[in-house]
Structure 1
């Protein structure tokens, strides 16, 4: 069965999701916290350091929202042909080190991109008392499922300022980055660990999770523009444009305008992997 166009408007939930301090710490390690200097990001990587309160990286909220609860059925296809296309996170308040939230997910759009279908879903998370906590928008591109005559979707013009970036931030991923991230990121998709499965998707070897690149990028931006203070983060958006192989170096170019930074993440080899980025902070 191809993409199910009647999935638009389909909603699942609410359901509850909980997390522990240890899960937040493992996620932080998966996106590189402490990898270059074990003493530099102790608020993300420890819960018992003297005079340091544990902070939860905001992008852990995407993991909590999207890798939990019932799935939304939007068709039957080879999962090896599905890749992450876009991710947005809006924070209404900082995530506590331990907690529970209520979640509800809705498929909002299915767009015809010719070579594939773009499926967009939004998830709203609130505290158990009903206070808004976070909102996410995620889209996936399913190769070979386009050409059904649907709308292509909105086109957004984006270009960084015509000047040198205000920040150039780097992180060297390790060959085992995906194996570590899949544990804290709750994403056991074999595309990131199984060579045969990755080969079915047309990749020479398992690739890094797009959300790992997203989390690494966010962590670097928070460190530079927010002094590592997660309660200053408001929104993070990016479009995935090319895969990253574990072991490649990531380079984030960022241009600040007031309380927002446009950014683009590339590999050292020059390929853009996370594009049209927007990072809003207080």
Structure 2
């Protein structure tokens, strides 16, 4: 029977787990899907001594377990409808880079998730899901995600009236009132959307099929939010860390509007350096020359001294 109120304390006691693997081919496909150059051998050639996945690859394993939690929402959210659930905010912290040990074909991972907060937003609720991914064999934590789902038309009774503040996981930064320190552009394509689906395992037809997108109210298929996030983080790391992914620590942002890859939209990442943080937003030239904000209030934390690479 569907619930009529939110029993937050009971929901916070539930955990979900899933086992996944990643391979050389998946890492290469992921890097290319975020716009990596085919000549960047550390990202596309497994024989390179520094071969690795871009740091936001950890979000892919968040996608895998969010499928389980999405289905479980029918059991713990009143009036839940699958199409009312959208990815609203994201936090990702990289403990180390994703690599393939020499001689191995794949690496097995265990990902565990739990709901840590549900917040009343009057017309919706925010569901905060804490996700931890570790190597199955060693038990070493590879990355942490916090996936924030924006769920429309859910009666908020039983949810928190105010969001619990948990440091970098919940902190959103306003856009600075000055010109960006650096700006980078990227043009999407239908091929990018298709490649990201294959690399991430997120086979939702919303990201490829025009009829599905139209039925959902979009003019064209939308790019997966974690792909847009990955593009933005790649821009920041390239701009302020010379492409050195080891310097990336974490990212937090709000996913404001989707990109339409099949429309070949040009997205611009605007970046402001403030100490070890790079604040950023991603915008697209919309109708009548008005910029549409795709990702807002973003912050990438770098493992560098203040101003080291600005």
- What TM-score does the superposition give when structure 1 sets the normalisation length? 0.88
CA distance in 1, matches of 2:88, 2:162: 13
> Structure 1 85/117 Cα, relative in aligned 2: closer, same or farther at 3 Å?
same
CA distance in 2, matches of 1:30, 1:5: 38
> Structure 1 276/175 Cα, relative in aligned 2: closer, same or farther at 3 Å?
same
Which residue matches 1:122? 130
The 5 A counterparts of 1:19-58 are 19-34=22-37, 38-39=38-39, 41-48=40-47, 53-58=50-55
Candidates 262, 280, 283, aligned match of 1:266: 283
SS at match of 1:74: helix
CA distance in 1, matches of 2:173, 2:278: 13
Is contact 1:12–1:71 with CA below 8 Å preserved after alignment? Answer: yes
Is contact 2:183–2:268 with CA below 8 Å preserved after alignment? Answer: yes
SS at match of 1:176: helix
Residue 194 of structure 1, CA deviation:
2.7
CA distance in 2, matches of 1:108, 1:221: 29
Comparing 270-279 with 200-209, which one deviates more in the overlay? Answer: 200-209
Which residue matches 1:107? 115
Comparing 257-266 with 159-168, which one deviates more in the overlay? Answer: 159-168
Gaps of 5+ in 1: none
Candidates 128, 133, 136, aligned match of 2:145: 136
> Structure 1 146/179 Cα, relative in aligned 2: closer, same or farther at 3 Å?
farther
CA distance in 2, matches of 1:191, 1:9: 32
SS at match of 1:5: coil
Q: Give CA deviations for 1:132-153 in whole Å, capped at 9, x if unaligned.
A: 2211000111222245473344
Comparing 123-132 with 233-242, which one deviates more in the overlay? Answer: 123-132
CA distance in 2, matches of 1:53, 1:229: 10
> Structure 1 30/152 Cα, relative in aligned 2: closer, same or farther at 3 Å?
farther
> Structure 1 239/90 Cα, relative in aligned 2: closer, same or farther at 3 Å?
same
Is contact 1:91–1:135 with CA below 8 Å preserved after alignment? Answer: yes
Candidates 12, 19, 31, aligned match of 1:8: 12
Is contact 2:30–2:53 with CA below 8 Å preserved after alignment? Answer: no
- Two-structure CA RMSD over aligned residues (Å): 2.4
Which residue matches 1:151? 160
Which residue matches 1:256? 273
Is contact 1:80–1:191 with CA below 8 Å preserved after alignment? Answer: no
Is contact 1:113–1:146 with CA below 8 Å preserved after alignment? Answer: no
The 5 A counterparts of 1:124-203 are 124-127=132-135, 128-148=137-157, 150-154=159-163, 158-203=173-218
Point out the structure with the larger helix share: 2
Residue 271 of structure 1, CA deviation:
0.7
- What TM-score does the superposition give when structure 2 sets the normalisation length? 0.81
CA distance in 2, matches of 1:202, 1:3: 28
Residue 101 of structure 1, CA deviation:
2.7
Q: How many residues of Structure 1 are paired with residues of Structure 2 in the alignment?
A: 275
> Structure 1 146/46 Cα, relative in aligned 2: closer, same or farther at 3 Å?
farther
> Structure 1 193/144 Cα, relative in aligned 2: closer, same or farther at 3 Å?
farther
SS at match of 2:258: coil
SS at match of 2:154: coil
Is contact 1:110–1:118 with CA below 8 Å preserved after alignment? Answer: yes
Which residue matches 1:66? 63
CA distance in 2, matches of 1:70, 1:192: 15
Residue 161 of structure 1, CA deviation:
2.7
Residue 280 of structure 1, CA deviation:
0.9
Which residue matches 2:229? 214
Residue 156 of structure 1, CA deviation:
5.8
